[in-house]
Every structure is written in C-alpha cells, then in structure tokens.
Amino acid sequence: MDDKPIDKEEILNELSEFHKLDYDYADGRILGSMCTEAHPFAKEVYCKFLDTNLGDPGLFKGTQLIENEVIKSIGELLSIENPYGHIVTGGTEANLMAIRAARNHARKYKGIVNGEIIIPESAHFSFKKAADMLNLKIVEAALDDNYKIDVESLKEVISDSTVAIVAIAGTTELGLIDPIEEISKIALENNIYFHVDAAFGGFSIPFLRRCGYDLPVFDFSLEGVCSITVDPHKMGLAPIPAGGILFREEEYLQVMAVDSPYLTVKTQSTIVGTRLGASSAATYAVMKYFGKEGYTKIACNLMANTMFFKEGLEEIGYEVICEPELNIVAFNHPKMDTSVLAEKLEELGWKVSVAKCPVAIRVVLMNHIKLNHLKELLEDLKDIY
Ligand SMILES: Cc1ncc(COP(=O)(O)O)c(C=O)c1O
C-alpha cells in the first residue's frame, strides 16, 4: 500500500489498464463460459444493495424478505410452493450445501459415519471439493452411450454408506439432462437423499418447456428430489455471484445449523457468514424485469442459435458429439486432434473451451454470442477445415 492517499482519477486509470487485459463478453469471443454479461438493470440494483449483509439478517430485514421472495419465485419455476433455501455465491457453494445437508441428515437419522456420494462421471468438479471438505467418498456412476447416467450402473453402486445421489439437469460439458425421473424413484425406494444440479439448466429448462421443447421433468414435482441447485448468474442473467440452493424440507437446513451467538439470529446454516444481499436484490430485479415471457424468449433464441451453429458445423464436415438438449454444442474435426483445433481457434482470437468427457471443443451459446459471431466462427472453422 502507498503511504499517501492517491487521487481517484489516477486509481481509476490504473484499474482500467488492468481491466483492458480482460476479455469482454460483448466481443462474442468467449465460447466456453456459462456466465455472461448481467443485465444492466440487475447491475444497477446490485450497486444499491452493496452494503447489505444477509449473514446478519436481523439488521437487514427488508433484504431478507427479498431473498425469501427470490427463493419462492425460483421454487415456483421448480414446482414447489414452499421451498427453503438461499441465494449463495454460485453452483459450487450450492452443491456444497446440498451435500452437507445430505451428509448431516444421514448421520443424524441413519447413523452413517463414513459416507459416500454417488455422482455421474459428467458431474461438475464442485462435488469433488464438497466430498473433500465433508470427508465423503466419491463413487462414480458410469454414463451410457448418450453421456447420461447409466441407471443400472447407478443401482449397482448404491450401498449402506450412500448419503446422496446426484444427477445433473444441464451437464457442464454437453448440456444434457440425466434421467432424473427414474433416479428419483430409485432414491425413494432406497430412502436416499437425491440432489439435482441444475446450476446451468434451472433457468432454461422450464422456459424451453413453455415454448414447446420436449424436455424431461427434473424438479420437485418428482417426489424423490430433495434439493436443487439453480444459478441466477448463469442463464438467469444476474450479476456474479448468484447461485441458488433450494431444499424441499426445512429440516435439511436445520441439520446444518450452527449457533451464531453474536448475530441477530440464533443459528446459521449457510457456509458463508457475511453474505451479499446485493445478489438477492439483483436476482429479484432481473426476474421481475424479464418475467417468464422474457426468459422464454431468451432461452428459445439461444436454442435457435444453438441449432444454427450445430447445423453449420455439420455442413462443413465437423462431427457433433450429441444432439443438443440445451444451448451447448460439442464437436470435433474428423481427423484433426482436438488440441490442435483448439490452438488454431485460439490463434484466431477465440477463447475456446475443451471438454474432457468426451474430449471435444465445447461452445456454450450464452446471450453474449450473437448470430454474427457464430457466422464469423463458422467461417473460421471452414478455413481451418
Ligand atoms: C452443472 C454445474 N454445476 C455447478 C457449477 C459450479 O458453479 P459455479 O462456478 O458458479 O460455482 C457449474 C459451473 O459451470 C456447473 O456447470
């Protein structure tokens, strides 16, 4: 730190030099991000609530009501009237809370000490962090030929130590939806906690269904589903950080509660203590601003872009890994190594993301990637071919 105060202008100049090194969503070159530029109105609201702290909700009763309203509205999208949950920093923290609830619940009611969680090979790496922090063993369920959980493989790995089963509604790499209805039944039959990670799909599947896409049910209408992660800072166009965790029962929050002596509330269930109210306020604003109609338009437009891109790739001769269910396309060149193709695209200024399972170039068609960017990208891919 400098000894003397520095003029605001000078500080801003310094910061903008750093900022220039960042990529800008608006350039349409960021191909692999599941976040995008937040809506300007959400950013405006976010700034107004920057000093609110939901870690001490007795001091911020209004903002606490906003968080409750947001959880209720997201719950309505996910077919539950009275959900319990929080707006947290993102999918990682939401998944961590779900797994912590499952572990504590299994410890309290079933006496499971060295627990295991079953996740698909396609699960986001946040579950590895959760298992590490919560001292749980990860057991992977295999995927079928369509890169979704193989239900038979899942059944085989259930054991007396299983504290949770996880399935994904919108996988990180391919945007696919696991057979959640079937898994919900299996979870119920075996009396096992079932968490659905819809961090990516939660803000698009309900809207795509509204405009006629035949997508499977993934939400609380399935009796076995205990919790769902859904991130406003991905397809919800809310500013970072905004993740959502919704539970079916209040008990799942209670089994995580610890005493919080010096605060205005007696207990706290969230991982984070001091917690931004701005995320809830901005999510509230953007959800009201778009409404179901607005989100449906966005989701359908992005799917149209997705199909345009997929068909363009196939016309050139690229191999598309699977029929997109959500707005992600993964592809390979029939002969060129994926890493070579990625390098060539990077040289042309595209910020490329490479999937691991299977290895492929992965493009997430977020709101910042417009049709003109896709046309440019297809032109470059044609030249490379
Ligand atoms: C399915 C899924 N779950 C969880 C996460 C983690 O979310 P975050 O990066 O907001 O912590 C991601 C991130 O892309 C994701 O795709």
Residue type, 76: E
Residue type, 126: S
Interval between CA 287 and ligand 1 midpoint (Å): 20
The model's confidence at residue 295, banded by pLDDT at 50, 70 and 90, is: very high
- Give residue 220's pLDDT: 98
The model's confidence at residue 135, banded by pLDDT at 50, 70 and 90, is: very high
The model's confidence at residue 207, banded by pLDDT at 50, 70 and 90, is: very high
Mean pLDDT of 352-358: 96
Residues 120 and 196: their CA atoms lie apart, in Å, by: 11
- Residue 372, CA atoms < 13 Å, CB-side half-sphere: 4
Tens digit of pLDDT for each residue in 88-106?
Answer: 999 999 999 999 999 999 9
Determine whether the shortest distance from the Cβ of 238 to ligand 1 is under 6 A.
no
For the chain, give every domain's residue range. Answer: 8-38+293-384, 41-287
Test site for ligand 1: of 93, 95, 119, 126, most ligand atoms within 8 A of the Cβ: 126
Determine whether the shortest distance from the Cβ of 178 to ligand 1 is under 6 A.
no
Determine whether the shortest distance from the Cβ of 200 to ligand 1 is under 6 A.
yes
Q: What percent of the chain has pLDDT over 90?
A: 100
Tens digit of pLDDT for each residue in 321-345?
Answer: 999 999 999 999 999 999 999 999 9
Nearest CA to ligand 1 atom 16: 172
Q: What percent of the chain has pLDDT over 70?
A: 100
- Give residue 351's pLDDT: 97
Determine whether the shortest distance from the Cβ of 241 to ligand 1 is under 6 A.
no
Structure tokens at 143: 């995927």
Can you state the percent helix, strand and coil of the chain, rounding each to 5?
A: 45, 15, 40
Residues 218 and 18: their CA atoms lie apart, in Å, by: 42
The model's confidence at residue 280, banded by pLDDT at 50, 70 and 90, is: very high
Tens digit of pLDDT for each residue in 61-85?
Answer: 999 999 999 999 999 999 999 999 9
Interval between CA 221 and ligand 1 midpoint (Å): 23
β-strands 137-141, 116-120 pairing: parallel
Mean pLDDT of 39-68: 98
Residues 371 and 376: their CA atoms lie apart, in Å, by: 9
Contacts of 40 (CB under 8 A, 6+ apart): none
Mean pLDDT of the chain: 98
Determine whether the shortest distance from the Cβ of 197 to ligand 1 is under 6 A.
yes
Cα-based distances in Å from 71 to 55, 75, 135? 16, 6, 29
- Give residue 89's pLDDT: 98
The model's confidence at residue 152, banded by pLDDT at 50, 70 and 90, is: very high
Tens digit of pLDDT for each residue in 107-122?
Answer: 999 999 999 999 999 9
The model's confidence at residue 202, banded by pLDDT at 50, 70 and 90, is: very high
Mean pLDDT of 246-253: 98
DSSP string, 205-260: HHHHHHTT------STTSTTEEEEE--TTTTT-PPSS-EEEEES-THHHHTT-EE-
Sign of CA dihedral 246, 250, 251, 256: positive
- Give residue 231's pLDDT: 98
The model's confidence at residue 161, banded by pLDDT at 50, 70 and 90, is: very high
- Give residue 227's pLDDT: 98
Q: Which fold has domain 8-38+293-384?
A: Aspartate Aminotransferase, domain 1 (3.90.1150)
Q: Which fold has domain 41-287?
A: Aspartate Aminotransferase; domain 2 (3.40.640)
- Give residue 321's pLDDT: 98
Q: What is the CA radius of gyration of the chain?
A: 22
Interval between CA 197 and ligand 1 midpoint (Å): 8
Q: Are 149 and 178 in contact (CB under 8 A)?
A: yes
Interval between CA 234 and ligand 1 midpoint (Å): 9
The model's confidence at residue 352, banded by pLDDT at 50, 70 and 90, is: very high
Contacts of 216 (CB under 8 A, 6+ apart): 177, 179, 180, 181
Interval between CA 94 and ligand 1 midpoint (Å): 9
- Give residue 80's pLDDT: 98
| CA 263-264-265 angle, 5° bins | 90
